[in-house]
Amino acid sequence: MTRKLWISAGLGSAALIATFVWAFRPQPVQVETVEVRRGLFEQSVDEDGKTRVRERYVVSAPVAGRLARVRVKAGDAVRAGSAVAELFPAAPAMIDARMARELNERVGAAQAALAQSRARVARAEAALDQAQNDVARQQQLQGQGFVALAALDQAQLAARVQAKELEATRFAEVAAAHDLAQARAALTRAREAAGTSRPGSAWPIESAVDGQVLRVLQESETVVGVGTPLLEIADPSQLEIVIDVLSSDGRRVAAGARVDIDAGPGPRLTGRVRRVEPAAFTKVSALGVEEQRVNVIVDIVSPPEQWQGLGDQFRIDARIVVFERADAVIAPIAALFRDGEQWAVYVVHDGRAQKRRVKVGARTPSDAWIEDGLAPGERVVVYPSDSVADGTRLTVVRGPA
């Protein structure tokens, strides 16, 4: 074989080997990536809830008798002292000795309720004075640069909440005084009825407060007993929100926490947690599982004109912020995987996967706050498969920002 043939054979063999190596070399793994960003990180408890009026007043029959057909309807505006129903004597049983004794006891109970309401008003006034003093001190300290503006905002929020509490307790005092007046009137009327020959006179039942009729509980004419609920009256502009959450989540919710509220069409509303009730209750979920849940009471702090369409017992979706950190490094939760006892991610570096351990501060269903190990702007592999390892060549097929 000539030298020329040897050279040709060698070149052909080299080409064949090169083709074989190229065909069976490791192929780049196709992956999706997401850019690590810096921003506000928030953890939240997401649940549905419902609105309710802060103070609900049930108008009930002060004595047994015959109720005339109730003319007011749900949504009608009423004034304190205006008649909302009429009661007529039904039988001599209204004025017997037992009824007189019951009416005496009702007067005593109403007097005790009025005293209790006045004590609550005094306590609410003292709390409001303290809150206003706190605002004044925080304003002075904030002006001198000793406290942050957030502390002043918190003090002002506390003062507004205490003002609402005082308003509610004053309404309760008015209602208690009205109940006492009705109880005394019932006792007086019963005593007079024992010697009168006019048992058919109408007895007007009056509203205790200004507001609107929420619902009529007994509309048709009928005989009712003492204390039978007839109507519910409230001020629909004084709304709060009640959200029942799992008791384990309730431990993470603190008074003053921000609440994002979705009430349907229109702007999203903002609220603040006023109270987490101390007692839980059992509720059966849609899957038939018994859960321990607890009520979270929220005040709406958005301007009233944004939620004028809401009423009592309206459904809402709420997002209670339980943790937040500004200027946090945020990575998608889909990029994290366990590496022994630690968390790790694959970072795209020069077209290859670089495994890097990270320190996770907190997580949500979609994002994780990375305390250490990543920098904003780096791209990480999401949903990494078993084909990805440290040093693997990568091809990005989709990389959302």
Shared domain check, 226 and 345: no
Shared domain check, 211 and 157: no
The tens-digit pLDDT sequence of the chain (401 residues) is: 566 666 666 666 665 565 554 545 556 778 889 999 999 999 999 999 999 998 888 998 888 888 889 999 988 899 988 889 988 876 544 455 667 677 777 777 777 777 887 778 787 777 777 777 777 777 776 676 666 777 767 777 777 877 778 777 777 777 777 777 777 777 776 666 555 444 557 888 888 888 889 999 998 988 888 889 999 998 888 899 999 999 999 999 999 999 999 988 878 999 999 999 999 999 998 888 999 999 999 999 999 888 888 888 899 999 999 999 999 999 999 999 998 889 999 999 888 889 999 999 999 889 999 999 999 999 999 999 888 888 888 888 865 54
| 17 is a domain residue | no
Nearest CA among 76, 52, 53, 55 for reference residue 219: 76
| 374 is a domain residue | yes
Shared domain check, 293 and 244: yes
**The pairing of beta strand 367-372 with beta strand 229-234:** unpaired
Residue ending a domain, choose from 196, 222, 253: 196
Measured between alpha carbons, how far is residue 221 from residues 59, 73, 217 in Å? 16, 15, 12
Residue ending a domain, choose from 196, 221, 251: 196
- Residue 254: the pLDDT is 92
Tell if the pTM clears 0.85, that is, is over it. Answer: no
The Cα–Cα gap between 217 and 31 comes to 63
Query: Can you give the CATH number for the domain in which 280 is found?
Result: 2.40.30.170
Residue ending a domain, choose from 186, 219, 234: 234
E strands present in 99-140:
none
The Cα–Cα gap between 239 and 52 comes to 6
Backbone φ, ψ for residue 181 (5° rounding): -60, -40
Domain range enclosing 50: 26-54+238-401
| 361 is a domain residue | yes
Residues 6+ away with beta carbon under 8 Å from 249: 45, 47, 322
CB atoms within 10 A of CB 343: 20
- Residue 93: the pLDDT is 47
Shared domain check, 336 and 372: yes
Query: Can you give the CATH number for the domain in which 62 is found?
Result: 2.40.50.100
The domain tally of the chain equals 3
- Residue 50: the pLDDT is 95
Shared domain check, 357 and 376: yes
238 close to 172: Cβ distance less than 8 angstroms: no
Nearest CA among 218, 205, 187, 184 for reference residue 110: 184
Shared domain check, 104 and 74: no
- Residue 28: the pLDDT is 79
- For residue 91, what is the DSSP state? S
- Residue 91: the pLDDT is 54
What are the structure tokens assigned to 183, written together?
């109880």
